[in-house]
């Protein structure tokens, strides 16, 4: 998810949700979230929760990168990409993003 601060600077949120029980596992916030940063977050989650069978992601550059795809292959984690322009295929994340935007981000605008 991307948004901007009052001063116009942009930031990104990486939201990781368990697709089975809809538990929010992690929210990472920064001005940039490259693939190596995403990998570090996922390593922490794997350490805490164990390795997932698959990860559903959008087609962002951090997920289509060679580094991220190699990390998944090495761990035998299936990548499931949603179709471009079809956020409904990632409904739990989209709903979570909307709730975060309404309840947290909009409170400071």
Q: Which residues contact 63 (CB under 8 A, 6 or more apart)?
A: 35, 38, 57, 79, 81
Give the C-alpha distances (Å, rounded to integers) separating 62 from 13, 16, 65, 69, 103: 12, 14, 6, 9, 26
CATH number of the domain at 62, please: 3.30.420.10
Show the CA angle centred on residue 79, arms to residues 83 and 21, nearest 5°: 90
pLDDT tops 90 at residue 99: no
Total domains, the chain: 1
What's this model's pTM, rounded to 2 decimal places?
0.83
What does the block give as tokens for 36?
A: 């190596």
User: What is the tens place of the pLDDT at every residue in 57-67?
Assistant: 999 999 999 99
Name the pLDDT band for 100 (thresholds 50, 70, 90): confident
- What pLDDT, in 10s, does the model give residues 23-74? 989 999 999 999 999 999 999 999 999 999 999 999 999 999 999 999 999 9
Q: Give me the domain span that covers residue 20.
A: 2-108
Cα dihedral sign, 22-23-26-29: positive
Contact present, 17 and 24 (Cβ < 8 Å): yes
């Amino acid at each position: 998810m991307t948004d901007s601060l009052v001063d116009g600077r942009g930031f990104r949120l990486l939201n990781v949700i368990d697709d089975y029980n809809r538990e929010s596992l992690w929210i990472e916030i920064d001005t940039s979230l490259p693939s190596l940063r995403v990998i570090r977050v996922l390593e922490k989650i794997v350490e805490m929760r164990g390795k997932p069978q698959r990860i559903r992601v959008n087609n962002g550059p951090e997920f289509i990168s060679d580094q991220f795809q190699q990390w998944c292959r090495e761990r035998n984690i299936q990548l499931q990409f949603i179709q471009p322009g079809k956020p409904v295929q990632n409904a739990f994340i989209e709903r979570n993003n909307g709730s975060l935007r309404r309840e947290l981000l909009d409170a400071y605008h």
